[in-house]
Amino acid sequence: MELYKFASTLAERRGLILADTKFEFGLIDDDLVLIDEALTPDSSRYWESATYQIGTSPQSYDKQFVRDWLLRSGWDKESEPPSLPDDIVAQTRERYLTAYQRLVGKPLFPRKPRNE
C-alpha cells in the first residue's frame, strides 16, 4: 500500500489521477519482492485530473486508448487482433511519452540543441 500511496500522491502533484494499477510480487529466499513492471502505462491507468468528471471517459495516458480502438474496430476477441494503424501507434506512443514526462518531470528523449 505504501508504494501505491507514494505513486498516487506523485501523480496527483503532477496533475494526474492514478486510477488503478497492478503489482506482481514473488518470494525470493522468503523475502517478498516486486517481480514485474510497476506503475507504467501498461500496468496502470493514468487520467488527466483537470478534466476528470464522474460518469465521463477521462483523457487517459495508458493502454485504454488501444483497447477502445480495438472495441470500435469490430474485433471479435476470438480471432487474432487486427494490426494497429500507424496513427493509433503514434498516438499511443505520445500518450505514453506524455505520462512519462508528467510523472518524471522531464522528457524521455530530450531534444538536442541545434548546432548552428
The answer to whether residue 17 is domain-embedded is yes
Residue listed under C-alpha cell 494497429: 84
Is residue 109 in some structural domain?
no
Structural domain including 66 reads 2-104
Q: What is the pLDDT of residues 53-109, one digit of tens each?
A: 999 888 999 999 999 999 999 999 999 999 999 999 999 999 999 999 999 999 998
pTM for the whole structure: 0.82
Residue 89 lies in a domain: yes
Domains held by the chain: number = 1
Does residue 12 lie within any of the structural domains? yes
The pair phi, psi for residue 108, each rounded to 5°, is -65, -40
H helices of the chain, where?
2-13, 64-73, 86-104
Q: Express each pLDDT in 36-57 by its tens digit.
A: 999 999 999 999 999 999 998 8
115 within some domain: no
With respect to residue 90, please indicate whether it lies within any of the assigned structural domains: yes
Assess if residue 112 is contained within a domain.
no
